[in-house]
Chain A
């Protein structure tokens, strides 16, 4: 067994274990940790495929940004981030589970027989220079469009999750005042029922 095959087996095992751990964990924090293990294992898999730069990016972006973001939100939400009990629509969930399992097995069978020999790699394949060069020449257009995607995400996140703006506070204050006035008027017209 060659070293790259060994690395593949180890990484595949941890990737699978991490994935199962993520979807089966009861606490979101545990799921996030399992996701982290999964991500690190995938970075190892990328190394066996001669994608060194991508392995590094995988660690930086996924482990460094995405998992951290998840952990932040879990901390922010606190104990309520944990939900209990099994699904309400048990039948629906069982059916979808069986269905997905079947689909997965079918696809796995369909693709096992595609087995071309691994071709020789050109110089610079997968390293910083090769991928970076491709990114800034061949892939320049989508690379630039991605910057807009990230911008939209930032603006969207701010628009959805930030606290009340000054205008909204004004509106709420007005509504409160109106409700108070109405309540007082109601008292004047008909005496409030005794508690």
Chain B
């Protein structure tokens, strides 16, 4: 078995799908946040894998580096909002946070 781009892309797509399903199905804000991290990680696998097959520059690896940095910033802000919400509602259940009209 020789590893090609297809194996990596398929794996990444499945990981992305797992993350997306987790985000849609779970109601716990913390787990939804982690699901978003799974999705971003899956994107990084695609970026790094594609770069391996277009190795004349480091565009993909640089992009992945930026994604990691932005993901860290996103988590920091997200968790701050989770804490603010928890102080007011004493819950991290997104269905509990549905007092706003739909």
Contact = CB atoms under 8 A, between A and B. Distances in A.
A1 interface: yes
Contacts of B69: 61, 146, 149-150
Nearest to A22: B34
Contacts of A66: 37, 71-72, 75
B10 A134 contact: no
A144 B92 CA distance: 35
30 contacts: A23-B19, A23-B21, A23-B26, A24-B22, A28-B28, A28-B31, A31-B31, A35-B38, A45-B45, A49-B48, A50-B52, A57-B65, A58-B68, A62-B41, A70-B34, A74-B30, A88-B27, A97-B25, A108-B10, A114-B5, A115-B4, A118-B3, A135-B62, A135-B65, A138-B57, A139-B58, A139-B66, A149-B73, A157-B79, A158-B80
Interface of B: 1-11, 13-22, 24-28, 30-31, 33-35, 37-38, 41, 44-45, 48-49, 51-58, 61-62, 64-66, 68-77, 79-84, 86, 90-93, 95
Given A100-B21, A134-B57, 4 more contacts: A15-B11, A114-B9, A138-B57, A161-B81
